[in-house]
Amino acid sequence: MTAMIRNLIGLATLAAILASAGCDYFAVHSGPDSQSDGRYLISVHAEASPLEEASANATDVDSFVDHQPNLFPDATRSRDATQQPSGTNAPPILSVTMQSGRIEGLPIGLFSDTTLLMRSNGQISYLPTHEIVSHSVTGQPFVAQGLGGMQQDLQSEFGSRYSIRYASPYLVVAKSGRIGTWCERFQKFHSSMRSYCLTYGIPLRNLDFTLIAIVFESKREFFEYARNEGSSIPSNCVGYYSQKSNRIVLFENDNPKDMDSTLETICHEATHQFAFNAGLHQRLAETPKWLMEGFAVQFEAPAYCNFTTRNHASFWPTSQRQAWDELKSDRNRLQQLFQDLIATDEPFKGDVLNAYTVSWAMNTYLSQRRGPQYVAYLRKMGSMKPFTTYSRGDRMRDFSSAFGSDISWMVREAIHHLDRMR
């Protein structure tokens, strides 16, 4: 019971954590003034009420609260999420009877007004406490849904107008005439990112779930879907990844003028999805944005995301060139931004383009030149507990224990390294 009470924190705290952790990400076609990523799209019901009132067996719930969505870290896994074994360390699932029906999953957060369940397809369900009738522990271990079941569910969700195809590790939903192209794009991108991680010694854990990528035929359907799932996206959004659904969602953009930036967005969002599922980041934890966003921007570079010319393409993301050149000429400002990003996510609310640019530069330099330290830091961030706050002091301390505290030297080294990459 104590553990449960400890987790009955109020909604305000939950909302604050979700806001700072970043529950959904989207990238937009944008100029320097309008670039805005990392919005928080999950809304949680506002009124707090004690979970005990709806909990038939609070003691059972107690046993779950330490299980995190970083699934089965100690269990033996297969290479493919679709063949995930029911390892002995897999925690049991909770069956919750709601007013609207029964729902099963792994409890990952218990709050006074909301219970969060990780579903077997990787989605996180938010269950309002006042709608919970009863719950019980099933004794069955939590395992990821098999490929056949996922495929069937997606077909019923999207109907006969859409095809569903498996292109490991993705299940792609797209129009039948286009699905081959999209499967190829996602797979090429996936292999680019895996080889980057291999080259720089970045450890990847086996994926918890098959990755779902949805490509709508039209912009209208894309926005309708986003609205229905409660994602409030700006009108120039061309794709997003949601930590809640664990899906990437985008649409066919016929305008050849937009092709490059569309591919950049896909690679950016696919990087978020992959990083959250391969253990580089932790869903619902307060991972520093410079790490998440900078890592994703790296893969916007033509060398990773331009699938036709990438053998001779640049490792510089197009959107960062000019901003970096300007920042480089103002070393004090660059260094200040570097320091601010280590301590807080605030620069992403104001100096947005430069926040992305410096984050990209930090990730590129640190992953390529300070490999072992970067890997140790990533491991630490990948094992953060969801729903815990990560203070300014702790962020600065963790950064300097990994990389040292001579920021001025790091900035100099980063400039030198990026110049050589051109």
Task: Give contact residues for Zn ion (rule: CB under 5 A).
Answer: 25, 37, 293, 296
Residue 169, preceding peptide bond in cis (omega within 30° of 0): yes
Shortest Cβ distance from residue 296 to Zn ion (Å)? 5
In this complex, which beta carbon is closest to Zn ion, that of residue 208 or of residue 293? 293
Instruction: Give the residue nearest to Zn ion (CB).
Output: 25
How many C-beta atoms surround the C-beta of residue 416 within 10 A? 11
Shortest Cβ distance from residue 184 to Zn ion (Å)? 23
In this complex, which beta carbon is closest to Zn ion, that of residue 36 or of residue 95? 36
In this complex, which beta carbon is closest to Zn ion, that of residue 154 or of residue 248? 248
Phi, psi of 311 (to 5 degrees): -60, -30
Shortest Cβ distance from residue 241 to Zn ion (Å)? 8
Shortest Cβ distance from residue 338 to Zn ion (Å)? 19
Shortest Cβ distance from residue 38 to Zn ion (Å)? 6
Please report how many Cα atoms fall inside a 13 Å half-sphere around the Cα of residue 84, on the Cβ side: 28
In this complex, which beta carbon is closest to Zn ion, that of residue 39 or of residue 185? 39
In this complex, which beta carbon is closest to Zn ion, that of residue 37 or of residue 264? 37
- Secondary structure of 3-60 in the HEC alphabet? HHHHHCCCHHHHHHHHHHHCCEEEEECCCCCCCCCCCCCCCCCCCCCCHHHCCCCHHH
Please report how many Cα atoms fall inside a 13 Å half-sphere around the Cα of residue 128, on the Cβ side: 10
Those residues whose C-beta lies under 8 Å from the C-beta of residue 68, and which sit 6 or more positions away, are 108, 282, 385, 386
Q: What is the C-alpha separation between 20 and 392, in angstroms, rounded?
A: 12
How many C-beta atoms surround the C-beta of residue 184 within 10 A? 13
The helix-helix angle for 289-298 and 371-382 (nearest 10°) equals 120
In this complex, which beta carbon is closest to Zn ion, that of residue 215 or of residue 296? 296
In this complex, which beta carbon is closest to Zn ion, that of residue 37 or of residue 345? 37
Shortest Cβ distance from residue 205 to Zn ion (Å)? 21
Shortest Cβ distance from residue 273 to Zn ion (Å)? 11
Contact 362, 338 (CB under 8 A): yes
At 358, which amino acid appears? V
Shortest Cβ distance from residue 202 to Zn ion (Å)? 18
With the CA atoms of 255, 256, 258 and 259 taken in that order, what torsion angle do they form, in degrees rounded to the nearest 10?
130
In this complex, which beta carbon is closest to Zn ion, that of residue 37 or of residue 286? 37
Nearest C-alpha neighbor of 274 from the set 380, 125, 141, 168? 168
